[in-house]
Amino acid sequence: MSSADSGMSERVDDREPVRPGFVRLTASDRPGVAQPVPVRDIPPRPWPRIFASAMLILLVAVGAWEWRMRAEGLEAGDIDDGPSAWAEQRRRVDAGEASVVLVGDSRMLFDSDLDRYEALTGVRPIQLAIAGSNARPFLVELAEHSSFAGLVIVGIAHTTFFGPDAGLGRGALERYRFESPSVRASFQLHRALSHAFAFLDDRFRLSRLVHFLDDDWRDGVRIGTAERLWKLGVTGDDRQTWLWPRIETDVRLRDHQRAAWGLGAGRKPPPIADAAIATAQRELHDAVATIRARGGEVVFLRPPSDPRFRVFEEQQMPRAQAWDALLAAGGVMGLHSDDDPVMHALVPPEYSHLSRACATVYTDAYVRALALRTPRVALRSDAPAPLTAADCDMPPADLASSATATAL
Amino acid sequence: MVFNSLTFVVFFACVLALHSLPLPWTVRKANLLVASYLFYAAWNPPFVILLWISTVVDWWAAKKLVSVQGANARRAWMLLSVVANLGMLAYFKYGEFLMENFAALMAGLGVAWQPPQLDIVLPVGISFYTFATMSYTLDVYLRRAAPARNFLDYALFVTFFPHLVAGPILRPTELVPQFESPRRADANQLCFGLALMTIGLFQKVVLADGFLAAPVEKVYDGAKIPGVLDAWVATLAFGGQIFCDFAGYSTTAIGAAMCLGFAMPDNFRFPYAAIGFSDFWRRWHITLSAWLRDYLYIPLGGNRHGPARTYFALLATMLLGGLWHGASWTFVVWGGLHGSYLAGERFLRARYAHLRPSAAQAFALGVLTFLLVHVAWVFFRAHTFGGAWRVLAGMFAANAGAVPVLPAIEIVTTVIIVTGIVAAHAFMRARTLESVLATVPAPVLSGAWALLAFAIVIEQGSGNAFIYFQF
């Protein structure tokens, strides 16, 4: 077929009659016969020139958009965490690439600094925590479907462990169980492009930007937390995730993010059913037993939250009933941020997740605390000096150089 | 592999480059065949075997249909093809559905029987390629077409990646002859093909996935009880979503084939401007409705044996057409509704044959068609009858405990997009896209093309599968 063959005409085939109301016949007009080879028209326009002009305009527009998105605080190298990124890390566990695995919800994800962990111990953990999820199904999955025999550090945000399922992490488990070659290749391509283009960010898609215009306009419809969150994190290649720096520096965004948690909006914390608590405790006990049986160990972390948020959390479920009872049921050791002066002094800017600098301080604190309590964590002889809450004020680059200088 | 993925961008660039090399035509066809298998295997490699089975069985059956003597022998080879294809379809698509219904039937008879957990994975596009291969043997059996001259051309007809997993459902006579002589797109075809792909991907990535999917999911999959506004907005959004999703796929497929120098038939002709249901089915999923007409409705008697037989053939065709879309009774009801619409229209046309509707009456009939099509969409989208009744009750103000469900922004965007779609369909009702584009100044086309491409780029997309992949 060529444009010359088609005669640049409106009709497909001049041999065929035109049915009223139709300008091109289709199979619907030819009942009970062999359908002929279709002939498609090419509108008589200068298509190569149109294409070249369109691509030029597109290039300029994308360039302008990239500039605008960088001005919004997006950065190249943020791979946009998702199921494929998680599945890739989970496969590293199967490949025996690490002796420490982090499991948990968004606090574990945002509040752990893998670089700091590695600098202190010489081991780089695999980050399997997922925002908006529940650590329990992932711990159970790790116990039942892997041969991992190292240290599992489980981070929980008060009551998330009692949730009914994996929450927003559901897709990650499914993706790990089956990831088509096409999806896997697309993820690799997307990651490569993300290192060049900052605008590739799921939270800044056109449709999401339009939806962000809605400030609960309609009575009776409150946009959910997951949709309301503008952007919370920045994720690197091995899922090292930080709080988005603009949350720390932009008061409007920080207040927006705080509002998303629903504090002060008369929100009543939903109670946790006894049956859910019992199920969580039983599953934890079984998972810990399975991991220990093959030589592994499980410890728990409770990252810090804002004092106002702590009140809200305690209203929902007192610590004795949640944290303490859980550790007892699982027979595991845990570090609660309320119990450690350094950890307790760290205040998340948007109530729930630590700033990038504070995440380094928190990681430093929990690694040192774990090193005192379990032989699974050992500090290197050339480990950097301890950090304090005061180091939260230091920009990340200065923090790294300071630590290095101290170590030297 | 889906068209709206980065993998496809790289894949298609490689295929275009290979196809443009100065290689013998047979080698270039072999390249296309291998690329098409890769396209399919990129979803789940083992299922390529099913594609091979379907291809080989129908190739041999068609050869035997030509060489054997006697009606019975010919019928036997035709049946072998039909049974092999429908057997695969029955197992993979309807296996669990049949088991569940058999168990329910047994329970109704007082026999307690628990069906085994089969966990059957539905191969992508099986409904499409089995219909394409069946049309090959059926056309040869009905002496409408001769078998392909060589296996490569035939295998490429079955597997050609633009139509493989979600149509348009091609007939062998539409595509096999195109493989007989060398084809390569010229610059105009290549660029216009890319323009069509941009339009298709805009429909899918920006409109269907970006803006219309969310309100549909909130109402149809959520726990809240919708009122009139939410139920109608969600259903209109679904009407827009499924059109943009599937017509977007077809447009992209047609564009991809054009870039390689091949022509594929129209699958959609601005269906929301239809006046009446027979008009709707001449505009919606044309290649499926024509397939069902030629290989089901006409063999069932069509309109050749009196009104009663005609109504039976119509209803049976639409019920099975509904079931083709999915292994659920909700799809059967959707097909039944459309069968009833068509039968009602046929009855009224016969009863009032002398009437010629005025423009205002035609407009009113068009609105009625649009609304009834959307009432039927409720059963297509809802996963259960309970869910369908909940939405239907909302649409007709019969939900006592209704609460607001959709954010205002989703109502606004849905109304804007659906109004735009309907207005575009009304304007294009008796036109083709090509005839309209031929009148648009080149700078406007450049700007519009860049705008659509820019919207796709900044919407980014998440590689969501097309809705019709599951069918």
Cis preceding-peptide flag for B168 (omega within 30 of 0): yes
Say yes or no for a CB contact (<8 Å) between B409 and A213. Answer: yes
Q: For residue B411, what is the nearest residue in chain A, using CA coordinates? A: A218
Report the pLDDT averaged over residues A334-349: 90
Closest partner CB to A214 (pick from B144, B210, B407): B407
In a mutational test of the A interface, the residue from B269, B445, B451, B466 whose CB has the highest number of chain A CBs within 10 Å is B445
CA nearest to B298 within chain A: A32
Predicted pLDDT at A271: 77
Contact criterion met (CB < 8 Å) for B432 and A206: no
Cross-chain CB nearest to B435 (options A10, A21, A223): A10
Contact assignment for B269 to A31 by CB distance below 8 Å: no
The pLDDT of residue B405: 94
| SS3 label, residue B22 | coil
Q: Cβ of A47 and B188 within 8 Å?
A: yes
Residue of A nearest to B144 (CA): A34
Query: Closest to B10 (Cβ–Cβ): which among A42, A181, A189?
Result: A189
The answer to whether A26 contacts chain B (CB < 8 Å) is yes
Query: Which of B186, B293, B450 lies closest to A2 in CB terms?
Result: B186
Amino acid at B210: G
* Residue A216 confidence class, pLDDT cut points 50, 70, 90: confident
Q: What would the two tokens of residue A136 be?
A: 């329990």
Say if CB A337 and CB A347 are below 8 A apart. Answer: no
Q: Do B440 and A199 touch (CB under 8 A)?
A: no
Confidence at residue A193, expressed as pLDDT on a 0 to 100 scale:
92
B263/A38 touch (CB, cutoff 8 Å), yes or no: yes
Q: In whole angstroms, what is the distance from residue A307 CA to residue A23 CA?
A: 70
Q: How confident is the model at residue A403 (pLDDT cuts 50, 70, 90)?
A: very low
Distance CA B129, CA B161 (A): 11
Cβ contacts (< 8 Å) between B442 and chain A: which residues? 45-46, 49-50, 53
In A, which residues are within 8 Å of B9 by CB distance?
Answer: 189
What is the Cα–Cα distance from A388 to B278, expressed in whole angstroms? 75
For an interface test with B, give the residue of A30, A45, A210 to mutate (most B CBs within 10 A): A45
Q: How far apart are CA B288 and CA B323, in angstroms?
A: 13
Q: Is the pLDDT of residue A397 over 50?
A: no
Do B227 and B282 form a contact (C-beta atoms < 8 A)?
no
Which of B434, B451, B462, B466 best tests the A interface by mutation, with the highest count of A CBs <10 A? B434
Provide the 8-state DSSP code for B176: G
Residue of A nearest to B429 (CA): A21
Residue A258 in this model has a pLDDT that exceeds 90? no
Taking an 8 Å cut-off on Cβ atoms, the answer to whether B459 and A62 are in contact is no
Extract the runs of DSSP E, i.e. beta strands, from A226-306: 233-235, 241-243, 297-302
Of A40, A45, A216, the CB nearest to B437: A45
CA distance B137 to B329: 30
- The predicted pLDDT at position B93 comes to 84
Pair A8, A42: CB distance under 8 Å: yes
CA gap B423, B407 in Å, rounded: 24
Distance in angstroms (rounded) separating the CA atoms of residues B436 and B425: 13
Query: Given an 8 Å threshold on Cβ–Cβ distance, is B406 in contact with A210?
Result: no
A313 contacts: CB under 8 Å, gap ≥ 6? A158, A159, A269, A305
Task: Report, as residue numbers or ranges, the catalytic residues of B.
Answer: 325
- Region at B190 (left for phi over 0; alpha for psi -120 to 50; beta for the rest): alpha
A12, pLDDT greater than 70? no
Contact list, A36 vs chain B (CB under 8 Å): 173-174
Chain A residues lying within 8 Å of B409, measured CB to CB: 210-211, 213-214, 217
Contact B6 A190 (CB under 8 A): yes
Q: Taking CA atoms, what residue in B is nearest to A80?
A: B462
pLDDT of A168: 79
pLDDT band at A132 (very low <50, low <70, confident <90, very high): confident
Mean pLDDT of A239-261: 86
Express each pLDDT in B347-384 by its tens digit. 998 888 888 888 999 999 999 999 999 999 999 999 99
Residue with tokens 């989970």: A90
Determine the Cα–Cα distance for residues B223 and B225; give it in Å rounded to an integer: 7
Distances (CA, A) of B263 to A5, A13, A124, B259: 12, 12, 55, 9
Say yes or no for a CB contact (<8 Å) between A44 and B438: yes
The helix (H) or strand (E) run that includes residue A82 is none
Distances (CA, A) of B97 to A244, B34, B124: 47, 34, 17
Tell me the average pLDDT of chain A.
Answer: 84
Phi-psi region of B261 (alpha: psi -120 to 50; beta: other; left: phi over 0): left
Q: pLDDT grade, residue A6 (50/70/90)?
A: very low
CA distance B326 to B329: 8
Q: Best interface-test mutation with A: which of B221, B288, B296, B458 has the largest number of A CBs within 10 A? A: B458
Q: What is the reported pLDDT for A267? A: 62
Distance CA B238, CA B220 (A): 10
Asked if B298 lies within 8 A of A61 by C-beta distance, the reply is no
Residues A262-302: pLDDT tens digits?
A: 665 556 667 778 888 888 889 999 999 999 999 999 999 99
Helix (H, G, I), strand (E, B) or coil at B171: coil
Please give, rounded to a whole number of angstroms, the shortest distance from the CA of B178 to a CA of chain A.
7
CB-nearest to B409 from A57, A65, A211 is A211
A181 touches chain B (CB under 8 A): yes
Chain A residues whose CB is inside 8 A of the B285 CB are: none
Question: What is the pTM assigned to this prediction?
Answer: 0.89
Nearest to B318 by CA among B304, B336, B291: B336
Asked whether the beta carbons of residue B450 and residue A61 sit closer than 8 angstroms, the reply is: yes
The phi, psi pair for B58, rounded to 5°, reads -75, -30
Residues B246-302 have pLDDT tens digits of 999 999 999 999 999 999 999 999 999 999 999 999 999 999 999 999 999 998 888
| C-beta of residue A107 within 8 angstroms of C-beta of residue A351 | no
Residue A42: pLDDT above 50? yes
The pLDDT of residue A21 is above 60 = no
Of B183, B188, B460, the CB nearest to A205: B460
Q: Which candidate from B187, B263, B293 shows the least CB-CB separation from A31?
A: B293
Write down the number of H helices and E strands in chain A: 18, 7
The C-alpha torsion from B211 through B217 and B222 to B226, rounded to 10°, is 70
* Cα–Cα distance for residue pair A76/A70, rounded to 1 Å: 8
- Top residue of A23, A49, A51, A178 to mutate, by most chain B CBs within 10 Å, is A51
Q: Which of A57, A181, A216 sits opposite B42 (nearest CB)?
A: A181
| pLDDT value, residue B97 | 86
Asked if B430 lies within 8 A of A21 by C-beta distance, the reply is yes
Distance CA A107, CA B1 (A): 35
CA distance A206 to A226: 17
User: Which residues, in sequence order, are CB contacts of B312 under 8 Å at separation 6+?
Assistant: B300, B301
Does the CB of A224 have a partner CB in chain B at under 8 Å? Answer: no
Task: Kindly list the distances between the CA atom of residue B422 and the CA atoms of A134, B75, B263, B468, in Å, as whole numbers in the listed order.
Answer: 44, 46, 27, 21
Pick the closest to residue A160 from A129, A189, A183, A190 (CA basis): A129
Confidence at residue A399, expressed as pLDDT on a 0 to 100 scale: 45
Interface check A50 vs B, CB under 8 A: yes
Question: Rounded distance, CA A355 to CA A247, Å?
Answer: 8
**Which of these, B30, B33, B38, lies nearest to B11 by C-alpha position?**
B38
Please indicate whether residue A402 or residue A269 has the higher confidence score (pLDDT): A269
Q: Report the phi/psi class of residue A7: left, alpha or beta, with left for phi > 0 and alpha for psi in -120 to 50.
A: left
> What is the ipTM score, two decimals?
0.89
Separation in Å, CA of A300 to nearest CA in chain B: 34
The nearest alpha carbon in chain A to B287 belongs to A27
Q: Which two tokens stand for residue B302?
A: 């069509």
The reply to whether A40 touches chain B by the CB within 8 Å rule is yes
Say if CB A308 and CB A263 are below 8 A apart: yes
Q: What is the mean pLDDT of each run of 10 residues along chain B (471 residues)?
A: 90 96 95 95 90 90 89 91 90 85 86 78 85 91 89 94 89 92 93 97 95 96 94 97 95 96 94 94 93 91 86 93 90 95 92 87 95 97 94 94 93 97 94 91 97 95 58 55
pLDDT for position A15: 44
Q: What is the pLDDT of residues A306-322, one digit of tens each?
A: 888 888 788 878 888 88
Sheet holding A126-127, edge to edge: A126-127, A100-104, A151-155, A297-302, A333-336
Reply yes or no on whether the pLDDT at A400 is more than 70: no
Domain boundaries along the sequence of chain A:
77-407
pLDDT at A2: 34
* Sole residue written with tokens 């993706």: A175
Give bridge partners of residue A233 from the DSSP assignment: A243
Residue A130, phi-psi category: left (phi > 0), alpha (psi -120 to 50), beta (remainder): beta
- pLDDT at position B471 is 55
Q: Taking chain B, what is the end-to-end CA distance rounded to the nearest angstrom?
A: 16
Taking one residue from A and the other from B, the number of pairs with CB-CB distance under 8 angstroms is: 233
Q: Do A37 and B290 touch (CB under 8 A)?
A: no
CB atoms near residue A15 (< 10 Å): 8
Residues of B in contact with A45 (CB under 8 A): 437-438, 440, 442, 445
What residues contact B320, with CB distance under 8 A and at least 6 apart?
Answer: B292, B296, B335
User: According to the model, what pLDDT value does residue A405 have?
Assistant: 37
Instruction: Kindly report the number of other CB atoms within 10 A of residue B302's CB atom.
Output: 18
Q: What is the mean pLDDT of residues A227-239?
A: 85
